[in-house]
Structure 1
Amino acid sequence: MDFKSIIRDIPNFPQQGIIFRDITPLLAHPHGLTSIIQGFQTKFVELNIGEVDAVIGIESRGFILGAALAMSLGASFVPVRKPKKLPSAVYRVEYSLEYGTDTLEIHQDALAKGERVVIIDDVIATGGTAAATAKLVQQTGAELLAYGFLIELDFLNGRKALPEVPIVSLVNY
C-alpha cells in the first residue's frame, strides 16, 4: 500500500509554516491499519529482533498502532501517557521541547525486568518524546529492542536523539 498517497497534508497546522501529516485517512482506509501493522512486522522480522514481550504505545496515536501491533505479535500493550492520566504508581520523565518541557509517565509495574519491548508511535520529529519513552523503559528494567514509526520527518534528524537500537520508519518525508 502506498501510504504517502493516503496520508493527508494539512498546511499551516498547528501553526503557520508547518505541514501536518494527517494519518486519519490512512486509518479510515479498509486496509490501512492492517497494512501498517504488516509493515512493522515485516521490518522487525528483517531486523531479526526476536520475540517481543510488550509493545509500548506513546500517547495518543501510538495507542492505536501499538495496541494493534501488540495483538498481532501476541504481546502485551503498555501505554505511555501524559501526566496524571495513569491511576497507579508511575515512573516519570521530563523532557525538553522547542519551547519548554513536557512529561511522560508509565506505570511502575507495567513491565518486568528483562522484558523485551518495542516503542511505537505515529511520527518521529525531533525525537524528544521517543527518547523520553526509552528512559521510562530503562527505569522499568525492560530491554528496548527497537522503535517503530509510521512517519519519519527526516529533516528534523530525530534519530540522533534516540538510543542505538534499530529504528523502523514506514514513510519518510
Structure 2
Amino acid sequence: MDFKQHIRVIPDFPQPGIRFKDITTLLKNGLAYKEAIDALKEKVSRYEIDYVAGPEARGFVIGAPLAYALGVGFVPIRKSGKLPGDCIEASYALEYGKDKLAMHRDAIQPGSKVLIADDLLATGGTLSTTIDLIQQLGGEIVAGAFLIELTYLNGREKLGGLEVISLVQY
C-alpha cells in the first residue's frame, strides 16, 4: 500500500514554514491503519522485543497497537507531570520548540529489549530523549519504527547508528 497517499500535508502548522504531516487521515481509514501496523510488525519481527515504547501522543496510536500485534508490553512516554508514579525526566528540542518527557521509573527492567515506535522521525530530538530515558533504566534499544521519516532533517544521523525503520519518507 502507498501509505503516503493517506497522509495529509498541512502547510504552516503549527507555525509558518512547517509542513505538518497529518496522520489522522491514515488513522481514520481502517484498512490503511491496519496495514501500516502490520507492515511495521513485519519489519521489526526479526528483533527480540520485550516492550514497545511510544512517546506522547501519536506514539501511542502507533506503539500500542504495534505492541499488541507483537504480543509485548507497551510503555507510554509522556510529557512532564502527566504520569502518576515515580518518574524520570529528560528535556528535548522539537522541530519547532522545546519540551520535557517522563517515564515511570519501574516501566522496564535492566536488560529489557525495547523498540521505540512513533508516527514521525524529524530532527531526532524526541527519539534521542526517549532513548536516554530507556537507557537510564538499563534498557537496550533494538530499533526505532516510524510511519514517517523527514529525511531532509537528518534525524537518523543523530542517533548513533540506531536502526531506523520508516514506511514513508519525505
Whole-angstrom distance in 1 between the partners of 2:54 and 2:145: 10
| Counterpart code for 1:134 | I
Deviations 1:106-125 (A, max 9, x none): 00000011111100110111
Contact 1:131 1:163 in 2 (8 A): no
State the TM-score, normalizing by the size of structure 1.
0.93
State the TM-score, normalizing by the size of structure 2.
0.95
Q: Are 2:116 and 1:149 equivalent residues in the alignment?
A: no
Q: Are 2:124 and 1:124 equivalent residues in the alignment?
A: no
Deviations 1:87-119 (A, max 9, x none): 111111112346763211100000011111100
The answer for the alignment partner of 1:52 in structure 2 is 49
Deviations 1:110-166 (A, max 9, x none): 001111110011011110110000000001111110000110001100112213221
User: Taking structure 1 as reference, are residues 21 and 97 closer, same or farther at Cα in structure 2, changes over 3 Å only?
Assistant: closer
Contact 1:112 1:142 in 2 (8 A): yes
The answer for the alignment partner of 2:4 in structure 1 is 4
Unmatched runs of 5 consecutive residues or more in structure 1: none
SS of equivalent to 1:81: strand
Number of residue pairs matched?
170
Whole-angstrom distance in 2 between the partners of 1:99 and 1:78: 25
| Counterpart code for 2:30 | P
Unmatched runs of 5 consecutive residues or more in structure 2: none
Which runs of structure 1 show a deviation greater than 6 angstroms over 4 or more consecutive aligned residues? Answer: none
Instruction: Quote the sequence identity (%).
Output: 49
